[in-house]
Amino acid sequence: MLFYLKLAWRNIFRNKRRTIISGLAIAIGLAALIYTDALYKGMEINIIDNITKSFIADGQIHRKGFREKQETELTINNLDKVVKKLENDPLVKRFSLRTYSFSMISSSNNVSSVMLIGVNPEKEKSISQIDDAIIKGDYFKEGKENQIIIGKKLAEILEVEIGDRIVVTVAQAHSSELSQELFRVGGIYYFNNPQLDKGMAFIKINKARKMLNIGNGAHEIAIKLIKGVDRKHIDNLSFWKKYSVDDNEALSWMGLFPQMKMVFEMTGLGTAIVGLILFAIVALVIVNSLFMSIYERMFEFGVLRAIGTRPFGAFKMIVLESGALGILSVSIGIVLGFLVTYIFSKIGIDYTGIEMMGVTIKNLIYPVLTVEQFVIYPIVVFLITLLIGIYPGIYAAKLKPAEALRKSL
Amino acid sequence: MSEKKLIIKTENLKKDYKEDGVVVHAIRGIDLTVEEGEFSAIVGPSGCGKTTLLNLISGLDTPDEGKVWLSGKLISDMSGKELSDFRRDNIGFIFQAYNLIPVLTVEENIEYIMLLQGVPKEERHKRVLEILDAVKLSGLENRRPTQLSGGQQQRVAIARAMVSNPKIILADEPTANLDSKTGSELLDMMAELNEKTGMTFLFSTHDKMVMERAKRVIVLKDGQIIDKSEIDIV
């Protein structure tokens, strides 16, 4: 076997130019696969970060039916018990209570319907980072209960600026009686997401509770889990089941954003498509290269068969040549793939502002290097080169010695 | 007087080829016997069927009709694998050119057959050195074929053909690509080896030098062996 390996290795360098071209084609394909996979992994992290560091957080608790009906009466059951449980849960880093209600918001110039969200300013700050998105004014000043924070787009519609007065009208729970309050614009935020910038307004939760007449209730608890939790597979945690009791439902961000599952499946499909294209290239390159090599050495194969090489010996020679080309290509591909991916993993790729399935990319995407990219993909490419070598190998094995000796002289 | 054993026997051997849709009768019923230790040549003009006959005798090609016995074994009925093993152990081949694997050294080229036979490494090396000495190429075992002259390459081919002590050496135009001096030296060497070892040599050639040295000349014309009286006509 060692002899055949030596022979295969030397044979692939008989036509250096062809070997280099074939090797580079496979290497570039492998590098592209490694890079694509790293990019998709980086995109996933970026998207998950965008979601979990936004209003969605890692997950939320609602009263069952609230998400579908958005009825003010559907506040979380046994809120105090749930809050206490969350405070003592080792998986929970922080959480924030929210109220929701449809509201009519009017300025002296215009009127608009928005989702009015009551938040605890201090707790909310560390969850959804609305404070970071403030572009004008302040994020809830202490003592000022009638402050409202609105989006840039909404401010443009209402034609209001910081300090301007706004009237908010909501329907109270149970009675559906209208409740009106006067607010002053305290801050204007910009999330670069039309839905958020136009359709939401934030007030302090205690004010909201009073307006909605829901006592100390809340419609939503946004939860941030501790570091180290696998956020891509967050759904697998038993945590959500634990809080889905007393007619409440606890859902991870993945449960709240089910379309993201599809996005991730699509990225996996993307990698598979790149992989398939690579394997098709590998197949064509190797088959072409090996057949050219066989035709060039037809007489040599005739001699080898004549002096006693069995058909399987000829087969082995070609498959090992294919494997030798595979090893060479895979080695170059690993180096190339690492260099390109490493460079981009440091400098990042700018897709900021692009919206994907309702998630706007806010930060640079950094491709993620993983061990599997440099172990599994090269092994698969190498095995494929071996497998593809079988076809020309069978051809070489079936060569009739007399015909092979006749063909090239 | 002891009777010599037959090493080759063919019976009504026939082989046709199709070339551009036309059937060519390459071998038309050849009955041939060759005894052990012969130094014989199959001669005849180009296209008379010399190489085809050699291919049929060695099992490189299969006859359309007839039978071939080599060393007492009916080889015309053997499978591909059986034939490969039989050739490996019983026949040495010398072709007119491109005999050697260019990526292997002289030693590797020669030891290849022994490797197929499963001869241990030390034994292989010993026999390579011995045979290189016999073909007067000692010290060149680490050279690649491209670093040798045409004559030296043919000597390596002879060494490779003989190293496993086959019963017969089949040489297809071994001097065709050599100048007359080198060709003559090579033929002298093969004749000497034939004398020393008693190994059978069967050439296919139209080289006068081979015919001069051959102890028996088999004349082929249009795929048939003809009488010696017809040699001049050929």
Q: What confidence score (pLDDT) does residue B232 get?
A: 46
B45 to chain A, minimum CA–CA distance in Å?
17
Average pLDDT score, chain A:
89
Residue A174 DSSP label = T
The residue of chain B nearest to residue A403, with distances taken between CA atoms, is B61
Select the highest-mean-pLDDT range: A55-59, A235-239, A329-333, B47-51.
A329-333
B140 to chain A, minimum CA–CA distance in Å?
20
Helix (H) or strand (E) holding A245: none
Instruction: Specify burial of residue A197 (Cβ count, 10 A radius: 0-12, 13-18, 19+).
Output: buried
Q: What confidence score (pLDDT) does residue B1 get?
A: 45
Other C-beta atoms closer than 10 Å to the C-beta of A110 total 13
Residue B25 DSSP label = E
Other C-beta atoms closer than 10 Å to the C-beta of A342 total 13
A141-160 burial by CB neighbour count: b if 16+ within 10 A, else e? eeeeeebbbbbbbbbebbeb
Q: Which residue has the tokens 């062996």?
A: B225
Instruction: Please state the rounded mean pLDDT for residues A234-243.
Output: 89
Q: Are A101 and A143 in contact (CB under 8 A)?
A: no
Tell me the HSE value of A97 on the side-chain side, using a 13 A CA sphere.
20
B229 to chain A, minimum CA–CA distance in Å?
32
Q: What confidence score (pLDDT) does residue A205 get?
A: 93
> How do beta strands A147-151 and A178-189 pair?
parallel
Cα B203 to Cα B215: distance, rounded to the nearest angstrom: 11
The residue of chain B nearest to residue A15, with distances taken between CA atoms, is B103
Other C-beta atoms closer than 10 Å to the C-beta of A290 total 25
Would an 8 Å CB–CB cutoff place B89 in contact with chain A?
yes
Compute the count of residue pairs across chains A and B with CB atoms less than 8 Å apart.
72
pTM of the entire predicted model: 0.76
Residue B5 DSSP label = P
Q: Is the pLDDT of residue A24 over 70?
A: yes
pLDDT-above-90 percentage for chain A: 53
Q: Tell me if residue A105 falls in helix, strand or coil.
A: strand
Instruction: Please state the rounded mean pLDDT for residues A220-249.
Output: 89
Note the pLDDT tens digit of each residue in A64-103. Answer: 999 998 888 999 999 999 999 999 999 999 999 999 999 9
- A357 or A310, which is more confident: A310
Note the pLDDT tens digit of each residue in B61-114. Answer: 999 999 999 988 998 888 888 889 999 999 999 988 778 999 999 999 999 999
What are the beta bridge partners of residue B65?
A: B14
DSSP sequence for A346-405: HH-B--TT-EETTEE--S-B-----HHHHHHHHHHHHHHHHHHTHHHHHHHHH--HHHHH
- Taking contacts as CB-CB distances below 8 angstroms, the residues of chain A near B171 are none
Q: What confidence score (pLDDT) does residue B212 get?
A: 87
The answer for residues whose C-beta is within 8 angstroms of residue B1's C-beta and 6 or more apart is none
- Taking contacts as CB-CB distances below 8 angstroms, the residues of chain A near B80 are 310-311
What ipTM was predicted for this assembly? 0.88
**Which residues of chain B fall short of a pLDDT of 50?**
1, 229-230, 232-234
Q: Are A142 and A150 in contact (CB under 8 A)?
A: no
Cα A186 to Cα A143: distance, rounded to the nearest angstrom: 12
Q: Is the pLDDT of residue A49 over 70?
A: yes
Nearest to A24 by CA among A288, A306, A331: A331
Distances from the Cα of A204 to the Cα of A148, A155, A195, angstroms: 8, 19, 21
Select the highest-mean-pLDDT range: A147-156, A349-358, A396-405.
A147-156
- Ordered structural domains, chain B, with CATH: 38-54+79-230 (3.40.50.300)
Q: What confidence score (pLDDT) does residue A358 get?
A: 64
Cα A259 to Cα A264: distance, rounded to the nearest angstrom: 9
Best of A307, A315, A400 to disrupt the B interface by mutation (most B CBs within 10 Å)? A307
Q: Shortest CB distance from B60 goes to which of A14, A405, A408?
A: A405
Cα A190 to Cα A186: distance, rounded to the nearest angstrom: 14
Q: What confidence score (pLDDT) does residue A149 get?
A: 94
Q: Are A311 and B97 within 8 A, CB to CB?
A: no
Distances from the Cα of A245 to the Cα of A67, A234, A258, A314, B111, angstroms: 16, 19, 21, 69, 80
Q: Are B84 and A305 within 8 A, CB to CB?
A: yes
Q: Are A308 and B116 within 8 A, CB to CB?
A: yes
The residue of chain A nearest to residue B98, with distances taken between CA atoms, is A300
Q: Is the pLDDT of residue A352 over 70?
A: yes
B217 to chain A, minimum CA–CA distance in Å?
24
